[in-house]
Chains A and B, each alone.
Chain A
Amino acid sequence: MGANDVSMIKAAHIGVGISGQEGMQAMLNSDFAFSQFCYLQRLLLVHGRWSYNRMCKFLSYFFYKNFVFTLVHFWYAFFNGFSAQAVYDTWFITCYNLIYTSLPVLGLSLFEQDVNETWSLHFPELYIPGQHNLYFNKKEFVKCLIHGIYSSFVLFFVPMGTIYNSERSDGKDISDIQTFCLIVQTSLIWMVTVQIALKTTYWTMISHFFIWGSLGFYFCILFFLYSDGLCLMFPSIFQFLGVARNTMNQSQIWLSLILSVILCVIPAFGYQFLQPLVWPVNVDKVFDRINHCKTRPPQVRVRTKLKHPSLRRSAYAFSHKQGFGALITSGKTTKTKPNKKNSFPVKK
């Protein structure tokens, strides 16, 4: 498109430029640029939709994991004289967002797909949630917050109930603050890992590596930070000497961990199952149909590239005068009738 379309491109939410004979200006000012108009379909229905989906999942998960992380201190405040004593080791606080939970979130944002590109093109109705802001809005944020509050409640009170007036299997203390911190930390990491595993619907090898790898990495770092060598070198900085070794061999710790994870996951799991069943949105019916088709071989014909120019349906978008847009898209200006099989019904 030409240079007079630059203002239109800049004003739009997303400006798309088509590189062609009229020069590079429109292309340089646009957010996306490609060479043919037909690529717009892929941009919207495949990439745009995936991008919206990934963004929403990322946002709701990120808020959730930080709510759980922080709100545990609210519950602990009632038991530590409101002195703002942390429930975690200071090194855990440093590493939580930076190391332990960064890669799974990255994997979710880069690779997540709810349906693959073929189905995305075949069912343009799937684009509607993006237009109606369905996947992340105030209501979703509040749901995320409530889930975070509930998870933090479980995350605090299950370990507290476990260590309250309890001892190790050899009679020695288990209800000290360092053991408590370790239990809460480990339960938290497991909890957010299982939560992101529930959210991920497209498990590539990379997703497996990021998610389970981060969990394993947490345990490696844990034993490193609480090892003799490091703690003896800097006793005032690394104070949790021996806590991991002494705590991880207690069966009640693992039982408490399993309990907190299951307690947190059950509501989300149940809701994810119940919501498309009892309060379905239009998109859920489409997903149902897709899942139904997946069990049988799909009869979708992959759209072939148009090589013959005469079959190509050209459409230009004029921005300055009203009326031409409707004329062009009505199809009256094309030579041949459009092939019904290749066009998709557009909902009016």
Chain B
Amino acid sequence: MAMNYNAKDEVDGGPPGAPGGTTKTRRPDNTAFKQQRLPAWQPFLTAGTVLPTFFIIGLIFIPIGIGIFVTSNNIREIEGNVFMYYGLSNFYQNHRRYVKSRDDSQLNGDRSALLNPSKECEPYRRNEDKPIAPCGAIANSMFNDTLELFLVANESDPTLTLIPLKRKGIAWWTDKNVKFRNPPGTESLKERFKDTTNPVNWLKPVYELDPEDEDNNGFINEDFIVWMRTAALPTFRKLYRLIERKNDLHPTLPAGRYYLNITYNYPVHSFDGRKRMILSTVSWMGGKNPFLGIAYITIGSISFLLGVVLLVINHKYRNSNNTADITI
């Protein structure tokens, strides 16, 4: 079983029996890519990289957390714009079947979808043999309580001053101007919706949501748009009205007693839901939400602590490793 070694190493493989012939070499190219010698950066974790990382994370996160927390908790007299929200609890707008139950083509003003809504809207698709506009469970369950805010003049004089509540400018710009559109046409809104019927649980049809303002009526009614933007969690709040700042001299909502008048149309007892009203100002990072601030401070502190712990462990084990010499 002797093997005749070919002293020429250049040609390998190939059938034997063709010595000295011009056999094509099958050797792969000696390029960096094919020989896996590409230039590369090879980092490795040492104490010098890991420990400073932990300390830096701690040193950066803690001030950020404090900054966020202070911003969130800033209590000042209510100036600037004040936002009025309605909140619902135990209302699962994020249920899978509920989220699907809409027809975005219809809401975008497509005439064919208006008269023939999508199957996803079942069972809120047709009623009394007419297509429902807007169809689906989301539209059907629209919040329809009315909230009004009054300022009581003073203890002795019980006259109520109505606080002006702005009802436009509460929905996302892209929703109002791009996503939601009324069906096209030059005739009145009522005419454009003539072969449709309102959702089962609505008191009035969609073209009467705001008869005073054409720009806020029909599908582009901002309360409707805000409701259609389904919430992610069972406890949520949605922007209801805007209380605009009058001028720099007076606070938007002066201190005093207020009177909230609620027209109760929306029943929530059957599913143990709860309703509430929230008044809030906003900052550069949104409303009052201490979560991020607290989380940053916590994680920054933990990171710093871990850095210290790792430093101690590193010191202890490096010393013990150095004494036992490694010879291979």
Contact = CB atoms under 8 A, between A and B. Distances in A.
Contact of A169 (B9, B118, B285, B317): B285
Interface in B212-248: 226, 229-239, 242
Most interface-central of A21, A113, A174 (chain B CB within 10 A): A21
Interface of A: 1-2, 18-22, 24, 33-36, 50, 79-81, 83-86, 111, 113, 116-117, 123, 125, 158, 160-181, 201-207, 228, 231-232, 235-236, 239, 241-242, 245-246, 250-252, 255-256, 259, 262-263, 266, 269-270, 272-274, 277-278, 285-289, 291, 305, 307, 309, 312, 314, 316
Contacts of B233: 79, 160, 163-164, 175, 180
Contacts of B16: 20-21
B78 interface: no
Given A164-B235, A181-B232, 17 more contacts: A21-B4, A83-B98, A85-B95, A113-B42, A116-B37, A165-B287, A169-B285, A175-B232, A176-B229, A177-B232, A236-B104, A241-B174, A246-B173, A259-B295, A263-B299, A277-B314, A289-B326
Contact of A176 (B15, B57, B230, B328): B230
6 closest residue pairs by CB, A with B: A242-B174, A180-B232, A35-B12, A235-B104, A161-B291, A85-B96
Interface in B245-294: 280, 282-289, 291-292
Contact of A158 (B44, B295, B321): B295
Given A169-B285, A173-B238, A236 B295 contact: no
13 contacts: A80-B96, A163-B232, A165-B237, A168-B282, A173-B239, A175-B231, A180-B232, A242-B172, A256-B292, A266-B303, A270-B54, A270-B306, A277-B313
A203 B328 contact: no
A262 B304 CA distance: 13
Contact of B13 (A34, A175, A202): A34
Interface in B298-328: 299, 303, 306, 310, 313-314, 317-318, 321, 326, 328
A202 B40 contact: yes
B52 to A, nearest CB: 12
Nearest to A272: B45
A260 to B, nearest CB: 10
A167 B239 contact: yes
Contact of A36 (B12, B229, B318, B321): B12
Contacts of B40: 111, 113, 202-204, 207
A215 B283 CA distance: 30
Interface in B34-83: 36-47, 50, 53-54, 57, 61, 64, 68, 81, 83
A289 B288 CA distance: 54
A201 B108 contact: no
Given A163-B232, A177-B232, A228-B178, A172 B291 contact: no
Contacts of A161: 291-292, 295
A93 B162 CA distance: 50
Interface string B96-123: 1111000111011010000000101000
Given A273-B310, A277-B313, A164 B295 contact: no
Interface of B: 1, 3-5, 7, 9, 12-16, 36-47, 50, 53-54, 57, 61, 64, 68, 81, 83, 85, 87, 92-99, 103-105, 107-108, 110, 118, 120, 170-175, 178-179, 226, 229-239, 242, 280, 282-289, 291-292, 295-296, 299, 303, 306, 310, 313-314, 317-318, 321, 326, 328
A84 B44 contact: no
Most interface-central of A117, A202, A273, A305 (chain B CB within 10 A): A273
A250 B286 contact: yes
A179 B103 CA distance: 19
A202 B42 contact: yes
B103 to A, nearest CB: 7
B36 A111 contact: yes
Contact of A172 (B13, B15, B170, B230): B170
A34 B303 CA distance: 53
B38 A204 contact: yes
B292 A252 contact: yes
Contacts of A81: 92, 94-95, 234
Contacts of A207: 40
A178 B284 contact: no
A161 B233 CA distance: 11
Most interface-central of A171, A175, A232 (chain B CB within 10 A): A171
B92 A167 contact: no
Most interface-central of A80, A169, A245 (chain B CB within 10 A): A80
A259 B313 contact: no
B11 to A, nearest CB: 9
A236 B328 contact: no
A174 B226 CA distance: 11
Contact of B328 (A163, A180, A286): A286
B328 A123 contact: yes
A201 B296 contact: no
B313 A278 contact: yes
A5 to B, nearest CB: 10
Contacts of A173: 172, 226, 229, 231, 238-239
Given A83-B92, A201-B42, A236-B118, A169 B283 contact: yes
Contacts of B92: 80-81, 83
Contact of B317 (A162, A236, A278): A278
Contacts of B286: 166-169, 174, 250, 252
